[in-house]
Amino acid sequence: MNPYSERMTRLIVAAGGGGDAVAAAMLHAALYGDEDQAVILTYAWDRLLIDPLPGPRGADSFTGLEPVTQSVWSVLAEAQPIAPAGSTLPRLATELPHTLALLDPHHGAEGITRQLEELVSHLAPASIDLLDVGGDILAQGDEPTLKSPLADALTLAACCQVNAPIRLLVAGPGLDGEISPDDLRPLFGTPVHTFTAEDVETIGSILEWHPSEATAMLAATARGARGICEVRDAGLPVPLTDEGPTVHEVDLDDAVSRNSLARAIMTTATLDEAEAHSREICGFSEIDYERNKAAWLTERPPTKLDPDDVLSRLDQFQSEARARGVTHTTFRHLTEALNLSGSQRDELRRLLIHSRPGQYDAPLWSIGA
């Protein structure tokens, strides 16, 4: 018996990683409510503060997975990444009322296409949405601000080869800091939804611990945050505007025509092949960046968080940030700006919320006046 046959199933493909999976849960609640159930197909590709190993994880990096089809596995709450790997997916599976299916790019776009075709055949979903937060799935490949094109290009390349109607949705235009909203706007078709503070409540507890910056800003703008938010290790300024909480449909064929990396990797059978195309077309691979950063982090001596020292450096950081016109920052950026390690992010967050409670503009940190 098909376990998904009792209610209509919606399939949502999270284009770029764990943050898109969290946004997918919020999207499902907003568009489809509680009547249908969702299968969210998502990468196990976390930031180095969660997973010290560069690149995405496959099924062989976990224990406790459950087969859905021949090549698709679901991540159960009791699943565990095999050390030293780390993953947010088991905890997401615990906290989300949906099935999380593991999107595995190690067999290239051909492998993801096969996974999608099996899922479509097995689930007979009522709808299929491909969701990207920020819009870098629409990158041409030569944008100077582009940082992580490979994951999105792989899902786009696979989705356009599946014989089923798939709707491409972009939420939070520009919130990933990779493509400007001005460049994205001409590509938008039908407005689909504008997230509200009520929508965010469905994932509010997850945002207390999940490290995604783009989805955090998506939620923050839905709750009314406006201004300039600094993100990433480099402190990239991202505008928080009325456009932030919006969701737009984009023609899938137009996206493929625009995304040169997606077109180049359609017949790739390994992740290494796809990565080589990324280096050729975009001039880099985000996995190379992760490899370099992972090597640097292993050489970095551990530091102890001293509250008085941290609060002193926080005051200096905030003074300089206000001079730059910054109103908010993510805890990821704040951790790095204060010269702390990613493993200390939660400890820092607890310290700041306790010592400066008025500045926590959940899930962001408000720089203050």
- The letter for the amino acid at 318 is Q
Domain parsing of the chain, residue ranges: 9-264, 307-366
Q: Are strands 246-250 and 191-194 parallel, antiparallel or unpaired?
A: antiparallel
Residue 1 — very low, low, confident or very high, per pLDDT cuts 50/70/90? very low
201-221 as b/e: b if 16+ CB within 10 A: ebbeebbeebbbbbbbbbbbb
The pLDDT tens digits for 243-266 are 999 999 999 999 999 999 999 999
Measured CA to CA, the distance from residue 173 to residue 150 in angstroms comes to 18
Centre a 10 Å sphere on the Cβ of residue 5 and count the other Cβ atoms it contains: 10
Whether residue 128 has pLDDT greater than 70: yes
**Helix, strand, coil tally for the chain in percent (to 5):** 45, 20, 35
pLDDT of residue 339: 87
pLDDT tens digits, 273-293: 999 999 999 999 999 999 999
Hey, which bits of 272-368 come out as E strands?
A: 328-329, 360-361, 364-366
Q: Cα angle at 339 between 337 and 342, to 5 degrees?
A: 90
The alpha carbon of 202 is separated from its chain's Cα centroid by a whole number of angstroms, namely 17
Cα separation values, 187 from 145, 159, 175, 182, Å: 18, 18, 16, 10
Give the pLDDT confidence of 27-78 residue by residue, as tens digits: 999 999 977 789 999 999 998 889 999 999 999 999 999 999 999 999 999 9
Write down the mean pLDDT value for the chain. Answer: 94
Q: Is the CB of residue 176 less than 8 Å from the CB of residue 134?
A: yes
pLDDT at 298: 78
Give the lowest-confidence range in 5-19, 150-164, 270-284.
Answer: 5-19
pLDDT-derived band at 18 (thresholds 50, 70, 90) equals: confident
Q: Which helix (H) or strand (E) holds 2?
A: none
Q: Rounded to the nearest 10 degrees, what angle do helices 307-323 and 345-355 cross at?
A: 80
Can you give the pLDDT at residue 301?
72
CB-based contact 47:87 (threshold 8 Å): no
pLDDT at 242: 98
Q: What does the DSSP 8-state code read for residue 164? A: S
**Is residue 7 predicted with pLDDT exceeding 70?**
no
Q: Which residues pair with 319 in a beta bridge?
A: none
The pLDDT of 157-165, averaged and rounded, is 97
Strand order in the sheet with 360-361: 236-240, 227-231, 328-329, 364-366, 360-361
**C-alpha to C-alpha distance for 301 and 48, rounded to whole angstroms:** 16
* CA distances (Å), origin 121, targets 28, 65, 105, 270, 363: 21, 20, 20, 24, 38
Residues with Cβ within 8 Å of 332's Cβ and at least 6 positions away in sequence, in order, are 47, 49, 211, 213, 231, 232, 342, 345
Distance CA 177, CA 367 (A): 19
pLDDT over 80 at 326, yes or no: yes
